[in-house]
């Protein structure tokens, strides 16, 4: 079988350099060439453009330091929430920072509540910092926590942050500088994996974050395309949040908010959302395949819920504008919803039509193509975007494994989407209890 696989691989490879190259590509790697290549090139060109513009742009020196309110959604972080609070207390930002940890279901999360309150003395000793611990005794879910925090926030800028996320010391300074431009209504922060060294699974997720968020969002943002403002790290102009009436009930509140802000931008062309790869937060990723599986079941099911159930009628250029419509159609519907099923069908056809050895040879060639694309994309990120090039160089060692991890992620995505279609999986979410979801319109 291995001999057959080798012969099959060499045959496919020979076909690429022979007169049959077009037929070979069409039959064996249509996803890489005909579907993913345009988006890949868009991201690469965007990263190159970012590298050129970033090096030529003068440093922004704010003349006014706005008050910033940081709403931290907390549920079961325990003592880990202190890392988040302390990283905000120690920000290199001359203006006032208001830190509001909202403890959801505080009756059951007394450890998290106590950990947040233990930071009060340090906050009182730190100039220009104010800590307001908000216990929400009845569990209401993530959206309830965000809106509760927003209701008492007094800052001009509101940050929606996770309780298991910490931040670089210059995060607030860099984020606030964008709001000197009156057209900027939101900033999507850049996330890195904080516990990357915990396991091989976290290492591969670290590669994923660097490729899809640090690199991918940087490239797309250069063309005015922001696919999502992360729920763990979103930064908003406060009056805009109040204009759209805060976060809506249900799951996938980050995608939901992004959709509504994109529609606002399309109605007012002077407004925009930006992504800054130097506005950095560090979050914990699932350390086991099982935990990763259940996280992505929820994430990918939520994508289908938002794109088709909640906003299916709104996905049109007249509401989103052409750049964001393109982002949703290609980056959302095609690559995140349709592509997992296309890949599974493609693999099924291969195993149905060919012997196992031939299939392994074909898949080896497909793997090689994806690996080349991945190395090119990661190299562009490492050279032109990374603010930690020495640390990030380590991840080159994990690139050969990443295509297999990506394939596994696609299969999990298909399961999550089917779960949403068949079982309305968004109603079984840890983001909100059932009694909250039952009362919402979705």
Query: Residue 19's pLDDT is what?
Result: 46
DSSP E strand stretches across 94-195: 97-104, 129-131, 134-136, 157-162, 165-167, 184-193
Specify which residues 267 forms β-bridges with: none
Query: Residue 420's pLDDT is what?
Result: 85
Do both 296 and 379 map to the same domain?
A: no
Do both 140 and 107 map to the same domain?
A: yes
157-191 b/e with 16+ CB inside 10 Å = b?
bbbbbbbbbbbbeebbbbbbbbbeeeebbbbbbbb
Last residue of a domain, one of 245, 267, 302: 302
Do both 226 and 104 map to the same domain?
A: yes
* Of 312, 314, 208, 323, residue with least CA distance to 273: 323
Average pLDDT (398-403) is 96
* Of 314, 309, 339, residue with least CA distance to 325: 314
- Number of domains making up the chain: 2
Do both 133 and 247 map to the same domain?
A: yes
Judged against a pLDDT cut of 60, whether residue 182 lies above it is answered with: yes
Last residue of a domain, one of 302, 337, 363: 302
Domain of 426 in residue numbering reads as 2-52+323-437
- β-pairing, 272-283 with 165-167? antiparallel
d(C-alpha 368, C-alpha 375), whole Å? 11
Tell me if 182 sits within 8 A of 348, measured CB to CB. no
Query: Residue 39's pLDDT is what?
Result: 80
> Regarding predicted confidence, which is higher, 100 or 429?
100
Please indicate, yes or no, if residue 57 is contained in any of the structural domains: no
108 token code pair: 């059951």
3-state secondary structure of 118: coil
Of the listed ranges 23-37, 86-100, 209-223, 308-322, the one predicted with least confidence = 23-37
d(C-alpha 294, C-alpha 289), whole Å? 9
Please provide the average confidence, as pLDDT, over all residues in the chain: 84
Helices 37-56 and 356-384: crossing angle in degrees, nearest 10, is 10
Do both 112 and 239 map to the same domain?
A: yes
* Of 144, 283, 119, 308, residue with least CA distance to 214: 283
Judged against a pLDDT cut of 70, whether residue 98 lies above it is answered with: yes
Do both 171 and 253 map to the same domain?
A: yes
Do both 198 and 286 map to the same domain?
A: yes
Q: Kindly report the CATH number assigned to the domain that includes residue 218.
A: 3.90.550.10
Please indicate, yes or no, if residue 311 is contained in any of the structural domains: no
**pLDDT bracket for residue 437 (50, 70, 90):** low
Do both 101 and 140 map to the same domain?
A: yes
pTM of the predicted structure, to 2 decimals:
0.88
Do both 188 and 266 map to the same domain?
A: yes
Do both 239 and 358 map to the same domain?
A: no
CA distances from 422 to 301, 305, 416, 417 (A): 11, 12, 10, 9
Please indicate, yes or no, if residue 132 is contained in any of the structural domains: yes
pLDDT of 227-254, one tens digit each?
888 888 999 999 999 998 888 876 778 8
Please indicate, yes or no, if residue 312 is contained in any of the structural domains: no
Do both 126 and 166 map to the same domain?
A: yes
305 token code pair: 């819920």
Total residues belonging to the chain: 442
Average pLDDT (209-228) is 89
Please indicate, yes or no, if residue 309 is contained in any of the structural domains: no
Do both 184 and 228 map to the same domain?
A: yes
């Amino acid at each position: 079988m291995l001999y057959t696989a080798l012969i099959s691989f060499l045959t496919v490879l020979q076909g690429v350099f022979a007169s049959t190259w077009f037929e070979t590509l069409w039959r064996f790697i249509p996803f890489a060439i005909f579907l993913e290549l345009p988006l890949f090139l868009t991201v690469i060109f965007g990263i190159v453009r970012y590298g050129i513009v970033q090096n030529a742009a003068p440093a922004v020196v704010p003349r006014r330091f706005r008050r910033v309110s940081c709403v931290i959604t907390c549920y079961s972080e325990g003592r880990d929430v202190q890392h988040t609070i302390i990283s905000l207390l120690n920000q290199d930002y001359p203006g006032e920072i208001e830190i509001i940890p909202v403890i959801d279901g505080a009756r059951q999360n007394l450890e998290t509540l106590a950990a947040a309150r233990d930071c009060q003395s340090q906050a009182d000793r730190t100039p220009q910092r104010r800590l307001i611990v908000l216990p929400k005794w009845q569990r209401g879910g993530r959206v309830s926590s965000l809106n509760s925090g927003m209701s008492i926030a007094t800052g001009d800028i509101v940050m929606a942050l996770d309780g298991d996320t910490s931040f670089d010391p210059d995060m607030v300074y860099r984020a606030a500088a964008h709001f000197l431009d009156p057209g900027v209504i939101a900033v999507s922060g850049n996330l890195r994996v904080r516990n990357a060294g915990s396991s091989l699974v976290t290492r591969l997720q670290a590669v994923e974050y660097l490729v899809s968020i640090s690199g991918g969002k940087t490239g797309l943002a250069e063309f005015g395309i922001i696919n999502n403002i992360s729920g763990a790290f979103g930064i908003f102009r406060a009056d805009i949040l109040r204009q759209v009436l805060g976060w809506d009930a249900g799951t996938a509140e980050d995608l939901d908010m992004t959709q509504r802000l994109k529609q606002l931008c399309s109605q007012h062309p002077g407004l925009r959302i930006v992504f800054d790869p130097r506005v950095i937060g560090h979050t914990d990723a699932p350390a086991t395949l099982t935990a990763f599986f259940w996280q992505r079941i929820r994430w990918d099911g939520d994508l289908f819920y938002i794109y088709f159930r909640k906003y299916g009628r709104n996905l049109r250029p007249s509401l989103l504008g052409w750049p964001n419509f393109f982002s949703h159609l290609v980056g959302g519907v095609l690559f995140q919803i349709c592509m997992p099923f296309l890949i599974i069908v493609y693999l099924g056809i291969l195993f149905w039509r060919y012997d196992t050895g031939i299939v392994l040879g074909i898949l080896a060639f497909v793997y090689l193509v994806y690996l080349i694309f991945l190395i090119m994309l990661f190299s562009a990120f490492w050279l032109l975007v990374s603010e930690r090039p020495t640390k990030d160089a380590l991840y080159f060692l994990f690139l050969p494994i990443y295509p297999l991890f990506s394939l596994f992620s696609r299969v999990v995505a298909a399961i999550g989407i089917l779960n949403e279609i068949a079982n309305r999986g968004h109603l079984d979410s840890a983001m909100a209890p059932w009694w909250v979801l039952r009362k919402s319109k979705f």
